[in-house]
Amino acid sequence: MVPSRIPTGTATVVLVLLVAGAAVTSSVAWGGGAWGAPPVSTSVPGPQRGWENVTPAVSPPAVGGGMMAYSPNLDEFVLFGGSTGVATNTTWVLRLNGGGWTQLHPAVSPPVRADGMFVYDQSAAAFLLFGGWFQTPTGAYLRRGDTWAFYAQNDTWLPLHPARSPSPRSDSAVACDPADDVTLLVGGFNGTAYLGDEWSFTFANESWWPLSSRSEPSRRADGRMAYDAGTNAFYLYGGNDYSGPNFTYHHLGDTWTYAWRTHTWTQLFPTVTPGALDYAVLAADAKSGVILMSGGYGASTVLGDTWAFNTTQLEWAQVTASVSPPPRMAAVGGYDSVDNRFVVFSGGDGPLGRDDTWSLAYPPDLQVSVAASATAVSPGAKVHFTADVIGGTGFVASTSWSFGDGSTANGTNASHVFRSPGVYTVRFRATDDNGPGSSASLQIVVRTPGPPWAALAAAGGILAFILAVGVVLWARRLRMAQAGTARDLRPGKERP
């Protein structure tokens, strides 16, 4: 007997099949897609402090071996000379706080030179210039042994005539101790030999004096030295003591400190160092208690990294930032103690001369980012985590992970097994020796996958849909057949 109508539950069964098929398909797609997702990472916004390109519209031409020093009395840098292919004797002033670069035109200037020594003596309110090299019309390179003072208050250069002086040279390491009103000069190159002698200069009597120490750095040129007021000491790093044919050099990577009042050199042995190099820019940030260094030349490579030497810990650390100056050697610069900026100007990278000006607000903001090998896993799966830390002082104090299930780990790389289903917030935190630190987080979803036949069920969802459509069509034809039978049974109509 043909039923007169489709049972009430049939439509319900069709709907359930459709919904169930879609649900199973969705569940399996989530499981397969998420388990195979690529590693992801999260990070905090970019740092607000760090390196900044502050090149103004007007700048000096690119120079190598220029001489530059900073006056806190006037809050300005003075740049003299350098080589643009030939030695020069122009004088420029840089004011970071809105002034930019300005060329000066003194009535008298020292003769042309590059790689001389140039410092600012705060007690005398004057810049001190000594030595350097120049090229004769016949192509010979000669060294100078003259001493000059520059008074930036009235743009005046004056020659000084001390009774005795260091021998003519270039590429000496030099720094000024304003507390004792003394400038220290170490080593250099006289055109044929590397030098290791030491001299001091005082403006009070305009005199150079030779010094001697029981233990002192080896002979060298192109090392860099700075004075730190916090420890009342000079710090010397690197240099070279050999230059041969075909650009063969021998660079130094040692760190020394000198106490003026005891005339004592002490070699330091930090855990890590920037490596053997010369021609860097080095300056003291007394407020932070570090010596900052940027660029240089070492291992046959022009360098672009930044380092800080902590004068309390007596350790070097690399300082990273999201933006940094391009690599360069033979650049100039110094530390602006009024605006708290480490400044680097010019230099070059092989044949490429640079005429840009950069400043570093130290320390750059500490920034961290984290990445995971997967963000959706099954219980018992191991997830690998990595963290990237940039900025800060460079002296990382701690790194820690919290996995959201009570477990923790240290270091920038970690692995963890999540045992139970759930959503876990994984947090990484890094701190340095300068503040509260920085953190980043991501979520890990741990979910039990469907049963083994889930994939088959997903495919069955499509089959269920086809079956449901077939049932609907069958029901429609059945209703039409029932209507025809009723017409045949009306009174007065004979059955066939």
Q: What is the mean pLDDT of each run of 10 residues along the chain (496 residues)?
A: 38 32 32 39 58 97 97 97 96 94 98 98 97 96 98 98 98 96 97 97 96 93 98 98 83 97 96 98 96 96 97 97 96 97 95 94 96 97 97 95 98 97 97 91 92 54 60 63 48 38
Contact 370, 41 (CB under 8 A): yes
End-to-end, the C-alpha distance of the chain in Å comes to 19
User: What is the pLDDT at residue 462?
Assistant: 58
The Cβ of residue 289 has, within 10 Å, a number of other Cβ atoms equal to 19
Whether the Cβ atoms of residue 194 and residue 241 lie closer than 8 Å to each other? yes
Contacts of 361 (CB under 8 A, 6+ apart): 49, 50, 52, 340, 341
In this prediction, residue 350 carries a pLDDT of 81
Cis peptide before 60 (omega within 30 of 0): no
d(CA 336, CA 436): 26
DSSP-H helix ranges across 355-426: none
HSE (CB half, 13 Å, CA atoms) of 429? 10
Burial 4-27 (b: 16+ CB within 10 A, else e): eebeeeeeeebeebbeebeebbeb
CB neighbour class for 379 (10 Å; exposed up to 12, middle 13-18, buried from 19): middle
pLDDT the model gives residue 488: 47
The pLDDT assigned to 7 comes to 39
Helices 8-35 & 454-488, crossing angle to 10 degrees? 160
The amino acid at residue 104 is L
